[in-house]
Each structure stands twice: as structure tokens, then as C-alpha cells.
């Protein structure tokens, strides 16, 4: 037990459990769900909408922008539920290997419980937003299953970090933007507070365990992580949104949008910097990240 307590991963896990006792939210009571999720506000900050800055965006009236943002927010919630499901499976797989007296055992249960509440919150938004129940298409859903088959722990934690760093940037902008609907701002505030511990744990695990992994495990993580990050970026633009809202050429415009591409690289900067320090990104794998538009 003493040696477990000296392990930095176990120490971090124990600190994060204590933090979770101080700061955890039940979104079903924390958010006032009696508020109408209607088109009185933007539902995400303008600069975080995939069509922001395109001719399609310029052509929209204010009301149309509000409605479009409601659909984008519901689609982002749908992508969040998809990714959190994958993430919980990875976390539970790690948990399976641990004895109950390891502090990481308790921490991983906290992380799973956090994600259960987040997915409940995203589902509640979708049910109330009056949009289709968006979720990633069949191709991404199948790739998610393949990923779960081949991912090792290092790929899992790097993938968790990729999703959480990317969404953290959008959540931080959302919670601070007074032009955004209060329900979206509340969801973002809850998510930022609780995801901070998941990011902190994934970073500690990767930094501490990377050098102890086999060459094969490191190789798998080095090749798979940029593909996972690309899948997450791809899931943010849901072709069903443009169809449902009736925006001609919307999906193509969002995919080509230079503003959106630049933002993804900026929002991933913290992640790519950290993964370069650890060694997940190196001279051999950096071209994959650049080629997929994930880093400058
Ligand atoms: Fe979450
Ligand atoms: Fe998380």
C-alpha cells in the first residue's frame, strides 16, 4: 500500500477524488430545464459554429442563426454522448485491472459517474431542443467500435485528452459568452469544472507511464492517436444539420471553412504541445498530425 501511495498516478487519483467531493454537479437539478430552448439566443458562440464566416452564414438572418446554432448545439451534444460512451468503456476496462484499494480504482469510478451525468445532460438538451436526435453517422460509429478493439491504455488516455481539450476550448467560450442561451452556458460550466479532473488524470497517467510501456504499445498509441483526434474533429461537422435546417452546400462549406480549420488547430495546441513533450508526437508522427490538419 505504501508503494501505491508513493506512485504519482495514485497520488493524483486521490487528490482528484477529494476535489470531486467539493465540486460535482447534478445537471438535472443544477440546470433550470423549465427554460424554453427556443430561438431567443445563439446556442453556441458564433465563432464556434462550423459555418461562421462562410457565405451561408453571412446570408442568414439573426433568427436563422439562432435556429442553426440550436441544431449545431444538439449535434455537438450527440457527438459528446457518442464519445463519452467510448471513453467510459475505456475507463471501465482500466478499472477492471485494478484492486479496490488502489486510489485510481475510486477515481475511475468518479470519472465514469461524471460522464454518466454529462451524457444524461446532453440527452436532456437534445430531447428539449426540438431538433432531430443527432448522433455521428454509421461510418464513425463503426470506427468507434474498431477503435475500442485495438486501443491500448495509452491510446485511450491520449484519445480522451484529444476530445476533452478540443471540447474544453468550446465549452470555456460558451460559458463566458453572454449572447449564448443560459441552458448552453450552464451545460458548458458544469462540463468545464468536471472535465478539468479528467484532463489532469489523463495527463498524469501518460506522463508517468509512457516511458514504462513496451515499444509496441507506444507505436500503437503514436499511430492511432492522430486518427482518433481526426475522428473527433470530423464528428463536429454533422451533415444532418445542414439538411435539417435547409442550408444548401452547408456541409461542404463547413468542411472547407478556413476559420473552422484554423480554430481546430488553435484549440488543439495545448494537446499537441503536451503530446510532443511526452513523445506521442515525434518527428516520425508529426507529418500525420499536420497532414490531417490537426497542427500547424
Ligand atoms: Fe464529459
Ligand atoms: Fe471527461
Residue pLDDT, tens place only, 172-214? 999 999 999 999 999 999 999 999 999 999 999 999 999 999 9
Q: What share of the chain is helix, strand, coil (3-state, %, to 5)?
A: 75, 0, 25
> pLDDT per residue over 265-279, tens digit each?
999 999 999 999 999
- Name residues with Cβ closer than 5 Å to ligand 1, which is an ion: 115, 118
pTM score of the predicted model: 0.94
> pLDDT per residue over 110-151, tens digit each?
999 999 999 999 999 999 999 999 999 999 999 999 999 999
Q: 232 CA distance to ligand 2 centroid (A)?
A: 14
Q: 25 CA distance to ligand 1 centroid (A)?
A: 12
What cell numbers appear for 236 in the block? Answer: 463536429
> pLDDT per residue over 121-132, tens digit each?
999 999 999 999
Please provide the DSSP assignment of 90-140 as one string.
HHHHHHHTS-TTSHHHHHHHHHHHHHHHHHHHHHHHHHHHTS------HHH
Q: 131 CA distance to ligand 2 centroid (A)?
A: 25
Q: Please give the pLDDT value at position 1.
A: 46
pLDDT band at 5 (very low <50, low <70, confident <90, very high): low
User: What is the rounded CA–CA span in Å between residue 66 and residue 69?
Assistant: 5
- % of the chain with per-residue pLDDT over 70: 98
Q: 144 CA distance to ligand 2 centroid (A)?
A: 17
Give the helix ranges, DSSP H, for 151-214. Answer: 153-176, 182-209
User: What is the rounded CA–CA span in Å between residue 231 and residue 67?
Assistant: 26
pLDDT band at 296 (very low <50, low <70, confident <90, very high): confident
Q: Please give the pLDDT value at position 4.
A: 55
Q: 2 CA distance to ligand 1 centroid (A)?
A: 32
116 within 8 A of 88, measured Cβ to Cβ? yes
Q: How many Cα atoms occupy the beta-carbon half-sphere of 296 within 13 Å? A: 10
Residue 47: CB atoms within 10 Å? 13
Q: Which residues contact 74 (CB under 8 A, 6 or more apart)?
A: 125, 126, 129, 131, 132, 133, 134
Looking at all shown ligands, the one closest to residue 90's CA atom is: 2
Mean pLDDT for the chain overall: 94
Q: 59 CA distance to ligand 2 centroid (A)?
A: 36
Q: 248 CA distance to ligand 2 centroid (A)?
A: 34
Confidence check: pLDDT of 3 > 80? no
Looking at all shown ligands, the one closest to residue 122's CA atom is: 1
49 vs 5 pLDDT, higher one: 49
Looking at all shown ligands, the one closest to residue 160's CA atom is: 2
User: What is the rounded CA–CA span in Å between residue 40 and residue 57?
Assistant: 18
pLDDT band at 2 (very low <50, low <70, confident <90, very high): very low
What cell numbers appear for 149 in the block? Answer: 478493439
- Name residues with Cβ closer than 5 Å to ligand 2, which is an ion: 195, 198
What cell numbers appear for 153 in the block? Answer: 491504455
Q: Spell 184-220 as b/e; 16+ CB within 10 A means b.
A: bbbbbbbbbbbbebbbebbbbbbbbbbeebeeebbeb
Looking at all shown ligands, the one closest to residue 164's CA atom is: 2
> pLDDT per residue over 204-253, tens digit each?
999 999 999 999 999 999 999 999 999 999 889 999 999 999 999 999 99
Amino acid at each position: 500500500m505504501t508503494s501505491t501511495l508513493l506512485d504519482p498516478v495514485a497520488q493524483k487519483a486521490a487528490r482528484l477524488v477529494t476535489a470531486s467531493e467539493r465540486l460535482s454537479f447534478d445537471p438535472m437539478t443544477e440546470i433550470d430545464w423549465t427554460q424554453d430552448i427556443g430561438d431567443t439566443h445563439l446556442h453556441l458562440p458564433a465563432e464556434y459554429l462550423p459555418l461562421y464566416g462562410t457565405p451561408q452564414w453571412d446570408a442568414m438572418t439573426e433568427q436563422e442563426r439562432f435556429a442553426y446554432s440550436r441544431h449545431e448545439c444538439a449535434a455537438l451534444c450527440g457527438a459528446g454522448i457518442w464519445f463519452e460512451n467510448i471513453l467510459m468503456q475505456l475507463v471501465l476496462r482500466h478499472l477492471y485491472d485494478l484492486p479496490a484499494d488502489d486510489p485510481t480504482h475510486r477515481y475511475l469510478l468518479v470519472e465514469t459517474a461524471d460522464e454518466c451525468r454529462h451524457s444524461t445532460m446532453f440527452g436532456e438538451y437534445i430531447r428539449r431542443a426540438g431538433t432531430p436526435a443527432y448522433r455521428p453517422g454509421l461510418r464513425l460509429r463503426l470506427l468507434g467500435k474498431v477503435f475500442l478493439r485495438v486501443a491500448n491504455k495509452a491510446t485511450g488516455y491520449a484519445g480522451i485528452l484529444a476530445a476533452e481539450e478540443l471540447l474544453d476550448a468550446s465549452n470555456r467560450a460558451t460559458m463566458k459568452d453572454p449572447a449564448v442561451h443560459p441552458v448552453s452556458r450552464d451545460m458548458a460550466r458544469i462540463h468545464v469544472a468536471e472535465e478539468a479532473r479528467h484532463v489532469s488524470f489523463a495527463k498524469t497517467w501518460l506522463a508517468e507511464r509512457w516511458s514504462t510501456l513496451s515499444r509496441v504499445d507506444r507505436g500503437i498509441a503514436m499511430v492511432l492517436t492522430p486518427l482518433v483526434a481526426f475522428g473527433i474533429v470530423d464528428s463536429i461537422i454533422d451533415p444532418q444539420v445542414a439538411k435539417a435546417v435547409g442550408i444548401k452546400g452547408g456541409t461542404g462549406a463547413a468542411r472547407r471553412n478556413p476559420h473552422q480549420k484554423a480554430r481546430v488547430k488553435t484549440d488543439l495546441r495545448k494537446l499537441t504541445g503536451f503530446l510532443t513533450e511526452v513523445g506521442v508526437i515525434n518527428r516520425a508522427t508529426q507529418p500525420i498530425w499536420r497532414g490531417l490538419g490537426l497542427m500547424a
